[in-house]
Amino acid sequence: MPGEDKYHGVLLLDKPAGISSHDAVMALRRILNQRSIGHTGTLDPLAEGLLVMCLGKATKIARFISELNKTYEAEIFLGIKSATYDAEGADYNSPSSEIPDLKITDLEVLLDSFKGIIRQKVPAFSAVKIDGKRLYQHARRGQTVETPLRMIEIYDIKLLAYQKPRLNISVSCSSGTYIRTLAHDIGEALGCGAHLSALKRVRVGKFKINRALTLDAAAERHRKNEIYEYLLSYDKALDYSAINITDEFSRAVVNGRFLSWQDVVGIEGDFSRGDKVLLKNSRGEVMAVGTAAVDSKDFKSPKGELLFNYLRVLN
């Protein structure tokens, strides 16, 4: 069993295809001999790539990392549909539908039509709950359930390569986007059907896959006591502006005390009302995450109004 928490911070992991995100967490717990580890955004077992892991006390900020935008590299197999929208449910021995002759410009125009805020249907084979059961539980029993629609945003979608029947794209999107649903929808738009045949997550927020450790590399770094070099602190992991507070007030943060003007020493960066910001003490330690109740420019004008709304106390 994992022991006491030794590591506290954010670790970037390169998950291999073939294991679930939960399996990756369990493997890392065994490697580091640590119980408190959690991921911040599920990757399907068939997918590979970046999993942002929160270790020890850093599990407190997992929800904020989960909200970050993602970038994927996806391979879409045209001509064969899948009940699961991915390779798991595809029958490659079945006759494929005729794929239309496609020019690169045609594909680029089609992909561009998916950019922006769109309604996306949750796959029938997913962990979303309907009537107290996971959708995949209904689907595996042959039960037809109307799956919900979600508002998601595709910020950018680019053609990387096309060699019939394989279409390779790059997608930058909001959290909660199903790339396999996007693959299915592209196939429907082309009239030949399609499914997601491979997927790699290469970016989460500002975090990139080239900074991530494989499980084997994590084991080696742990053995050499070098994991600390790869751990990111709160302020490095959360790309927010900050409000610097007095030492006296920092001792009251744990109680969620109201932040007043005399408790503020200064600010870092610019922010607007409603933006997420950090509270930092004189040593630069992050005490809490919250939302600004005023614009940063208004911190120069003392007024008796609310300055900060707590979302999570960290220390």
pLDDT tens for 7-39 read 999 999 999 999 999 999 999 999 999 999 999
* Distance separating alpha carbons of residues 12 and 104, to the nearest angstrom: 35
Q: Which residues contact 143 (CB under 8 A, 6 or more apart)?
A: none
| Residue 121 within a domain | yes
| Residue 61 within a domain | yes
The CB-based long-range contact list for 268-272 (8 Å cut-off, 24+ gap) reads 268/241, 268/242, 268/243, 268/244, 269/240, 269/241, 269/242, 269/296, 270/241, 270/296, 270/297, 271/240, 271/241, 271/295, 271/296, 272/296
The model carries a pTM of 0.89
| Residues designated catalytic | 44
Per-10-residue mean pLDDT of the chain, 315 residues long, equals 83 96 96 95 92 96 95 97 85 87 95 94 55 47 58 96 97 93 95 96 97 97 96 93 95 91 92 96 95 87 79 90
pLDDT at residue 309, as a whole number: 95
Name the residue range of residue 118's domain: 70-204
| Residue 3 within a domain | no
Count the domains in the chain.
3
Identify whether residues 88 and 187 lie together within a single domain.
yes
Give the CA-trace dihedral at 253, 259, 265, 267, to 10 degrees.
Answer: 100
Mutual angle of helices 179-190 and 104-112, in 10-degree steps: 120
Q: Which residue has the tokens 């040593």?
A: 283
Of 170, 172, 171, 165, the C-alpha closest to 187 is: 165
| Residue 193 within a domain | yes
Identify whether residues 74 and 59 lie together within a single domain.
no
Kindly report the CATH number assigned to the domain that includes residue 63: 3.30.2350.10
Give the H/E segment covering residue 195: strand 194-204
Identify whether residues 121 and 133 lie together within a single domain.
yes
Identify whether residues 257 and 164 lie together within a single domain.
no
Longest CA–CA span in the chain (Å) reads 73
pLDDT at residue 138, as a whole number: 39
Torsion sign, CA atoms 269, 270, 273, 276:
negative
φ and ψ of 197, to 5 deg: -100, -20
Three-class DSSP category at 18 = coil
Pure H helices in the chain: 21-32, 62-66, 104-112, 135-140, 179-190, 215-223, 234-237, 247-250
Identify whether residues 134 and 196 lie together within a single domain.
yes
In contact, 296 and 259? CB cutoff 8 Å: no
| Residue 4 within a domain | no
pLDDT at residue 305, as a whole number: 74
